[in-house]
Each structure stands twice: as structure tokens, then as C-alpha cells.
Amino acid sequence: MKLRLALTLSLLPTPDLLADTFEREQALKLPDIVISANRQVEARNDSSAANTVFTRDDIEHLQPASVSDLLSHVPGVQVAPLGGRGSLPGIYIRGTKSAQSLVLVDGQRIGNATSGDSNLQRLNINQIERVEVLRGSRSVLYGADAVGGVIQIFTRRGHEQGLQPRLHLGVGSHQTWERSLGLSGGDEQTRFNLGASLDESAGTNRTHTSYASDRDDDANRNQSLSLSLSHALADNLEVGLNLLDNRGKSEYDNPFGRFDPATFESLPQQPYSEFAVSSFSSYVDGRINDTWKSRLEVGHSENREKTFDKLSDVREVFNTYRDSVTWQNDVTLDEHNSLIVGGDWYEDRVNSSTSFDEDSRWNRAAFIQHRYQAEAFSTELGLRRDQNQQFGGQNSWSGTLTLPVSPGNDLLLTYSESFRAPTFNDLYYPDYSNPNLTPETAKSYELQWRSQLGEDTRLETSLYRTDLKDAIIFGSQSRPQNVASARINGVEMALMQDLFGWQGNLAVAVIDPRDRDSGHTLARRARRTLSLDLDRSFDRLSLGATWQAVSSSYDDENNRHALGGYALLGLRSGWALSREVKLEMKVDNLLDKGYSRALYSHDGAQYGYREEGRTWLFGVTWTPSL
């Protein structure tokens, strides 16, 4: 995040300004605005959710290789991929697992309905305008899966006036090539952006000891296309659409081998997958009158994957599809009271070469949230009712009390409830499922302190507890089961400091995630994480560094297999040769640290997935003036 501490709330766009046409289009460029917390444009400091926002400017100066790399800068978020660039990342927000956090692209759920994974490694960072991370439950507005938090990704947006082309080329370690181009523009009524990217890498060998067939490098190829279009039919009526399509090929290792039912043996493989992750949304956004604003969204998302084996004729297909409709109404009752009222509907469908006993289900919901704002205190109270085709009804409550202790210092007390329905894999995958699973439920308690300590210093801290009931973990015989309960205690801190021209962002988190029955620490959750970013601009030159430290953890629920802690150092720089041409250079894992964030088993022994060592990337971006 780029530090802008001198910017006070009085300098933020006012509600009247943000009520103009292209309200969200304008807000997507602003760092001190959040959209995801209440599905509406509001100042970050007015939101009840602990939140982190990355704009396009932040993405360009941090130079992350992927969305998951960007998320590692967020306090309370841990990222654990299965071996280097292009591998599936585990995303743990406040100690919850990937399937317990909701991932959206332009408002559309992109999580895989069979596994619960969102496949963030397949989203191209060059096609992204903005990323917002909400830490803590938001089930009242979003329903299932928003237990640990919400990650919303917004695709690239158009400029207000004229045309702006762009071209980016990059080359780096492991025969990595990045190519992207785009064109954006607009006028008083219409804005658009069209972009395309192609990333390729020869990759690295992701496993240590395994079958001989796994000793090759695991290459990946990713093609991405994005389109956004918005048009103002009138001063108070806007329509638009957003499209993001990512597809490609990814090689990976399978140290477990392929089970041969004829011989009851594990055979070596050389597997790879052809994938597609896409989302489409269209909307109508209108202001009915001075007190009532309404937005209707219709969307479709897909997760499609075909897996192959170079050593056999094995072919598998796992495709999931989701259609959705959302209607939200924002109503201002008076100067102190406002309402958010709406409804959601979505349906998941599975088309797979593996037979599932059930291959579709729908969920519909209604929600309402009241907000009271005054000088002495503010409150937020919400209720949601979900009706799931398979599991029936579920209520979710939330409430927040905000106390302005003094100018620049706020205390927030929050209680929230959330739930997650088991995935199709949890329930129906042959030989590795449990049809008797029930939905996970959670209750969360949080105390936030937000303080503007000085003109150049801001501190945001959170102390929280999450109690999970019927949490789903893999138990004996590799089948999922509902454990009686789990609880996660944690504290996180984000400190933003401008010192002698250097912009510093420090993110620290300490958690204690436990299965309350066994007392064991939940798998792949490090107890302590730290991320420090330092950046400074010298006219045309920019310099930056990131230091990240992660403590030890366990790879399994029984805490028998430990994962060592590690610390990584990265450097980056940029040089503006002119207004149109910029050069970029970064080095990740400068000290060439060897580490693993997950383990695998081979021949009865445990080994770590191999993460990339020292890597570098050089890029040039050309934005010619037309």
C-alpha cells in the first residue's frame, strides 16, 4: 500500500461527489475508499471492516508476480503455495482456510464448487485495477464462505477522457516472459478498457525426492483477457459489463503417484492441466430519488480444468459453473439513519468425469443492514437469511459499535456470525468424502483501534476471536469430518509511517488457531507473520524493499510434521526514462533462502515442496500519448 497519511478525511470525495455518474469507476482509482465492505462506495475509515486496499499504483510499485504475492503484504493473511510460481496457493485469512474466505471478481464468486479453491494463481496481475481485502466475517452481506474474510478483485478500468494505450514486456528467471497490452479510454458518457496478457515460464522442479518422472521443471502458460465497459444512459442511470478470462496450461508434480486398480500399486506420472477461470458480470446502477439508490447485477463464472498424464492415457475433467443475481438497495432515511436491503441468488453446477451423487444446488438469500451515525457513536446492525437447497435455512447476524474516543482515534466493537456449506468434493468425491457433513458455523468477536498518531503516522490494530463449530478437516482414512469445535485467537497491526521521505508499511500478526478437542494447532497456520515495505521516489527513480518473516507451523492436523519458519528479502526499482517509458527491475528472495510452505509424502517419508530461490525480473512499460 502506498502511504498517504497527510490526506485527511476532509480531502476525500464527499458523498455528493461520489453520487455522480461513474461513482464506482472514480472510486476504483482512490486509495482511501473501500467498496467491498458494504457493497457501496465509502471512506475506508467509515467502514466497520478491518480492510486493506491496493490500487493500480500500489500494484505497479510493489511489482508482485501474482495476486497471492500481493496478499502476502496484508496483516493477518498467510499464503502457502505448493511449490513456486503457478502452483495452487493456500490462502489463510486470520487462521481460516482458503475455502472459508470468499473471493470475488467484479462482484462474482469465482471459487471452485468442487474443491472450494479460488485458483488465484491463474489470475493475471496485469489485468487487475484494484484488490480489496476484508479481514473478519462479512456473511451478513455475502453469505456462505465469508468466514475469515473477503477478497475482491476489480479488473482494469478505463480513463475518463481520450485514449490511453499501454504495452508491457518482461523477462526473468527460469525463462519467464511477460507480455501484455491494452487500450482504455472514455468520454463524458462512456468508459472502457480492453486488455490482453500472455505469461510463460519454464518453471522449477517443485519436489525434492519423488519419482524420476517428477525431476523435470514444471512449466506454466497463462493467457488473460479483460474487458470493462460502462455507459451513462442519464445523470442517474448507468449500465455496464465486466469480463475476465484466464486460460492456459500448467505442469505439476504428483509425488503420490497414480493408483492402478489392476495392480494396487502407485505408478509414476507426468501430469499437466489445461485450465480456464473466467467471470462475467453486467449491471444496472440507478439513483431512484435523493434517498434511494438501487443496483442490479447478473453474473456467470466458470472454473474448468482438464488433467492429462504424459505417461498414460488418463484424462480427467473437473468443470464447475455458477450463475448469480444480486439486487441491492441503499436507502437514506435521514441524516443519521440508512439501510442496505437486498437479495442474492446463485446456482452451482458440476460437470466432471468423476461421478458425483449430486451435481447442482442453489442458494437464495435476503439481507438487511441498518446504520446509525452520530457524533458520539455509530452503530451497524445486520441480518441475513440464507436458504440452501441442500442444507435448509441459515441466519447470520452482525453488529458493530463505533466510539470516536478523540479526533483521529476510533474504537470499534464487532460481533458477527458466519457459515460455510461443504463443497461437492467434501460430500460426494468417491472414496474421499463424507455425505453426512453439516455446514460449518462461526461466531467472531473483534476489537479495533484506528489511530492517526500524527500527520505522517497511522496505526490500525485488531484483537479478535473466532469460534468455529463443526469445522471440516480431513481426519482418519483421508475423509473429511466435522470436528466438535475450533477457535482462533489473534491480534494484528498495520503501521503506516512516512519517515525522511520513505514510505513504510509494517504488517504484524500473531494468532493461536486450535482444534479445541485435541488442542492441536490447525495445519499450515504460522503463529507469527511480519511484512515490512519501504519505498521512496527520487524524481524519476523509485526504490523499494520488502522483508517478510513467517514462523514455524505444522503441515498436518495431528502436529506430527513441522514446517520451519523463514524470512525473505526482496528489492525493487523503477526508472522513468520519459513520460511514456518506464523501466522496472526486481529481485525476490535476494538471499536465496531455501524453504517449504507445505509437505508431501513419498514412500512413507515427508518432504517439502520446493519454493523458488533467488529470482529476478526486468520489465519495460510503454504508455504512448495519443
Task: Give the per-residue pLDDT at 21.
Answer: 65
Mapped onto helix, strand or coil, the DSSP state of residue 49 is coil
Mean pLDDT of the 257-264 span: 78
Task: Tell me the three cell numbers of residue 140.
Answer: 451478513
Q: Given pLDDT bands bounded at 50, 70 and 90, which one contains residue 475? A: low
Mean pLDDT of the 467-486 span: 82
**pTM of this structure:** 0.94
Mean pLDDT of the 591-609 span: 91
Q: How far apart are CA 400 and CA 458, in angstroms?
A: 22
Q: Given pLDDT bands bounded at 50, 70 and 90, which one contains residue 479? A: confident
Q: Given pLDDT bands bounded at 50, 70 and 90, which one contains residue 326? A: very high
Mapped onto helix, strand or coil, the DSSP state of residue 317 is strand
Task: Tell me the three cell numbers of residue 234.
Answer: 442519464
Q: How far apart are CA 10 and CA 588, in angstroms?
A: 38
Is the pLDDT at 626 greater than 50? The verdict is: yes
Q: Given pLDDT bands bounded at 50, 70 and 90, which one contains residue 477? A: low
* Mean pLDDT across the chain: 92
CATH homologous superfamily for the domain 9-622: TonB-dependent receptor, beta-barrel domain (2.40.170.20)
Task: Give the per-residue pLDDT at 14.
Answer: 38
Q: CA of 67: how far to CAs of 72, 79, 281, 417, 489, in Å?
A: 9, 10, 20, 28, 26
Task: Give the per-residue pLDDT at 478.
Answer: 72
Task: Give the per-residue pLDDT at 83.
Answer: 83
- By percentage, how much of the chain surpasses pLDDT 90? 79
Is the pLDDT at 115 greater than 70? The verdict is: yes
Mean pLDDT of the 572-590 span: 96
Terminal C-alpha separation, the chain: 30
Pair 203, 86: CB distance under 8 Å: yes
- What is the DSSP pairing of strand 101-105 with strand 149-155? parallel
Mean pLDDT of the 358-381 span: 96
Is the pLDDT at 11 greater than 90? The verdict is: no
Structure confidence by residue, pLDDT tens digits, 266-291: 888 899 999 999 999 999 999 999 99
Q: Where are the domains of the chain?
A: 9-622
Best CA proximity match to 61, nearest among 614, 582, 495, 613: 582
| Cβ atoms within 10 Å, residue 510 | 16
Task: Give the per-residue pLDDT at 385.
Answer: 97
DSSP bridge pairs for 534:
504, 545
Q: How far apart are CA 96 and CA 418, in angstroms?
A: 12
Task: Give the per-residue pLDDT at 84.
Answer: 79
Q: Given pLDDT bands bounded at 50, 70 and 90, which one contains residue 3? A: very low
Task: Give the per-residue pLDDT at 208.
Answer: 87
Mapped onto helix, strand or coil, the DSSP state of residue 204 is coil
Pair 303, 88: CB distance under 8 Å: no
Structure confidence by residue, pLDDT tens digits, 118-152: 889 999 999 999 999 999 999 999 999 999 999 99
Which residues lie below 8 Å from residue 118, measured CB to CB, with a gap of 6+?
Answer: 91, 98, 103, 110, 111, 112, 151
Q: CA of 523: how far to CAs of 107, 365, 487, 526, in Å?
A: 30, 32, 13, 9
Largest interatomic CA distance in the chain: 74
Is the pLDDT at 241 greater than 80? The verdict is: yes
Task: Give the per-residue pLDDT at 262.
Answer: 76
Dihedral sign of CA atoms 105, 122, 206, 54 in order: negative
Mean pLDDT of the 533-561 span: 95
Task: Tell me the three cell numbers of residue 459.
Answer: 496505526
Task: Give the per-residue pLDDT at 476.
Answer: 59
Question: How much is the CA Rg of the chain, to the nearest whole Å?
Answer: 24
Extended beta strands in 353-501, E state: 360-373, 378-388, 392-406, 409-420, 440-454, 457-469, 472-474, 480-482, 485-499
DSSP bridge pairs for 194:
183, 227
Q: How far apart are CA 626 and CA 610, in angstroms?
A: 46
Q: How far apart are CA 569 and CA 548, in angstroms?
A: 7
Structure confidence by residue, pLDDT tens digits, 17-55: 344 567 888 899 999 999 999 999 999 999 999 999 999
Pair 91, 101: CB distance under 8 Å: yes
